[in-house]
């Protein structure tokens, strides 16, 4: 079990308590989640996500699962390029917000990352963007992702990470003081955004995350920093080393 699997904030809690807390957070922020991301990142999250989708090569016959896909913004980018995509997310409220706000629809499935509703070796590619840190058990979710991927399948994860030293102090101050205030101003939910920032702060750095992905059974694990390491794409393959 990873150091994040059973911890929330500064106190140790059960997996059930953590799951309930995360569900409440995303239920609260669902109506304005995409708008809030625009404010928090000054729109750069859209650039990162566009790069992420373009970074991934896929065939028209591939089945892609976008885990923790929320409002479906990543999935719709894939669909617009001709992909077959299934959004999997435990938050019905988040998925409903995406359906209500967009004309281009995707297939939505309500499920948790630790128990995916797919057979072994059935998925060509699984993506997740800014969602792996919200799993109740990240190590269990990674093992489950490995289980459902085909022998030649790939895992792609876009997530916040540890920025390079010259900008790290400014980034930390922005996260600690500015984002919760933006959450209060725009979304009316400062407590929810305090959780989101805490989850970013506690997330493993690039090398730690690489190790966790390898421990879940993936091979050829690499990563690519974006915007001086503020965000990072992690790649793992379900192949023999």
Q: For the chain, what are the domain ranges?
A: 7-237
pLDDT of the residue at 12? 46
d(CA 88, CA 92): 10
84-113 mean pLDDT:
89
Class of domain 7-237: alpha beta
Does the global pTM surpass 0.85?
no
36-53 mean pLDDT:
81
227-236 mean pLDDT:
95
H-state helical runs in the chain: 15-29, 33-41, 44-55, 73-80, 92-101, 138-148, 168-173, 179-182, 190-202, 206-215
pLDDT of the residue at 13? 53
pLDDT of the residue at 195? 72
Which residue carries 């489950």 as its tokens?
144
> Does residue 6 register a pLDDT over 70?
no
pLDDT band at 204 (very low <50, low <70, confident <90, very high): very high
pLDDT band at 11 (very low <50, low <70, confident <90, very high): very low
47-60 mean pLDDT:
94
> Does residue 49 register a pLDDT over 80?
yes
Contact 92, 32 (CB under 8 A): no
Q: What is the mean pLDDT of the chain?
A: 84
> Does residue 66 register a pLDDT over 70?
yes
Residue 180 DSSP label: H
């Amino acid at each position: 079990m990873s150091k994040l699997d059973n911890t929330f904030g500064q106190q140790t809690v059960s997996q059930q308590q953590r799951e309930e807390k995360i569900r409440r957070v995303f239920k609260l922020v669902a109506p304005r989640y995409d708008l809030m991301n625009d404010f928090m990142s000054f729109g750069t999250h859209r650039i990162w996500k566009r790069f992420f989708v373009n970074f991934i090569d896929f065939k028209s016959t591939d089945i892609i699962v976008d885990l923790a896909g929320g409002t479906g913004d990543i999935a719709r980018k894939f669909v617009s390029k001709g992909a077959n995509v299934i959004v999997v997310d435990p938050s019905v409220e988040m998925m409903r917000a995406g359906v209500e706000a967009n004309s281009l629809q995707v297939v939505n499935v309500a499920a948790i990352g630790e128990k995916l509703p797919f057979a072994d070796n059935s998925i060509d590619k699984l993506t997740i963007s800014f969602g792996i840190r919200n799993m109740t058990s990240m190590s269990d979710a990674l093992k489950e992702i490995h289980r459902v991927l085909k022998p030649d399948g790939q895992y792609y994860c876009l997530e916040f990470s540890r920025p390079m030293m010259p900008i790290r102090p400014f980034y930390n101050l922005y996260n600690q003081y500015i984002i919760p205030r933006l959450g209060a101003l725009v979304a009316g939910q400062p407590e929810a955004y305090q959780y989101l920032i805490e989850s970013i702060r506690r997330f493993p750095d690039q090398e730690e995350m690489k190790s966790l992905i390898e421990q879940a059974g993936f091979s050829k694990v690499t990563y690519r920093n974006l915007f001086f390491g503020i965000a990072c794409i992690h790649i793992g393959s379900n192949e023999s080393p």
